[in-house]
Structure 1
Amino acid sequence: MNGPTVHERPSASASWRIALPHTTAAVPVARALVRSALAELEHMADRDTAELLTAELVANAVEHTAGRGPIELVVEVRPSGCQVEVHDPDPAPPGSLTHPTVEEPDVWQEGGRGLLLIRTLSSSCGHRPTESGKAVWFRLPAVPRQRRRT
């Protein structure tokens, strides 16, 4: 005899969009928004990875656009996973995001690993032009419930 069947409703889709200061103070704000967005919907994407990659995107936007305008964070949560975009005013594509370099990052340098982390840990990533600059994005897939951390 079989027990009752439990049907789990897939997570709802939702999105958040927020303007961030063009300073390093934007990084913890962005991390907190991503963590809250994924927790609020009990989404099954890896929250720690989403936070880390978001921090890298925002830090790159702050560092490489030199205060030339606002930065915007867009978080989209879907049953299949999440997508995070960071919009900045510089139209130049990010260095080695979609065309990786062959060189290993210098272990003695503080920077140089952010885009490598994004390429390696996301299911996909890229950039696209916008009316006011560019958007750099990554996607993370939903993680099966038995592999999730609580």
Structure 2
Amino acid sequence: MNGPALHEPPAPASWRIALPHSAAAVPVARALVRTALAEIDHAADSDTAELLTAELVANAVEHTKSDAPIELVVELLPTGCKVEVHDPDPTPPGNLTRPAPDDPDPWQEHGRGLLLIRALSSSCGHHRTESGKAVWFRLPVVPQQRRPVEPT
């Protein structure tokens, strides 16, 4: 007789979708990440993945001048997830991988997105693509919490 099944890490999977170059892209991107992580019961933190994805997509919409679509790529790996947002502007995002010289002004509505990505992801960065750039972050698998044994 076999013992209890061990929790197997999910097999690698990926999703790629073109998003409109508008604010409407943000909720669509969040929903895709939530669905991707839930669909295969992935152990990365869905709330954090949604938040950081929303920041990347909002930055791409706000800081690129082209009307070309933005592309969202979600990769689910046994070690966590990687999310990339591709946009047509090759200009690197400011202060993504290093702290800004000054803290964001707490009274301003903008300026905290890259700080959140740096603080909450296990790693982040950007690279040039044939059509612009991709900005990405990784989140690790969150260990399963031990549940108390129910008395029988």
- TM over 0.5, shorter chain: yes
Q: Who is 1:85 aligned against?
A: 84
Give the Cα–Cα distance (whole angstroms) in 2 for the partners of residues 10 and 93 of structure 1.
34
The unaligned stretches of length 5 or more in structure 2 are 147-152
Percentage of identical aligned residues: 74
Matches within 5 A, 1:116-135: 116-135=115-134
Q: Who is 1:56 aligned against?
A: 55
Give the Cα–Cα distance (whole angstroms) in 2 for the partners of residues 28 and 67 of structure 1.
20
Superimposed CA distance per residue, residues 95-120 of structure 1 (whole angstroms, 9 cap, x where no aligned partner): 11013212111011000000000000
Q: Who is 2:109 aligned against?
A: 110
Q: Who is 1:140 aligned against?
A: 139
Q: Who is 1:98 aligned against?
A: 97
Task: Determine whether 1:76 maps to 2:66.
Answer: no
Q: Who is 1:66 aligned against?
A: 65
2:75·2:81 contact (CA, 8 Å) conserved in 1? yes
What is the identity, as a one-letter code, of the residue corresponding to 1:43?
Answer: H
Question: TM-score, with normalisation over the residues of structure 1?
Answer: 0.93
What is the identity, as a one-letter code, of the residue corresponding to 1:61?
Answer: A
Give the Cα–Cα distance (whole angstroms) in 2 for the partners of residues 96 and 51 of structure 1.
21
Question: TM-score, with normalisation over the residues of structure 2?
Answer: 0.91
For residue 128 of structure 1, report the CA deviation from its aligned partner.
0.1
RMSD of Structure 2 on Structure 1 (CA): 1.4
Q: Who is 2:149 aligned against?
A: none
Give the Cα–Cα distance (whole angstroms) in 1 for the partners of residues 99 and 93 of structure 2.
11
Q: Who is 1:17 aligned against?
A: 16
SS in 1 for 2:33: helix
Matches within 5 A, 1:38-49: 38-49=37-48
What is the identity, as a one-letter code, of the residue corresponding to 2:134?
Answer: A
What is the identity, as a one-letter code, of the residue corresponding to 1:87?
Answer: H
SS in 2 for 1:145: coil
Give the Cα–Cα distance (whole angstroms) in 1 for the partners of residues 15 and 98 of structure 2.
29
The unaligned stretches of length 5 or more in structure 1 are none
For residue 65 of structure 1, report the CA deviation from its aligned partner.
0.2
Deviating above 6 A after TM superposition, structure 1's stretches of 4 or more consecutive aligned residues are none
Which deviates the most, 97-106 or 76-85?
Answer: 97-106
2:66·2:88 contact (CA, 8 Å) conserved in 1? no
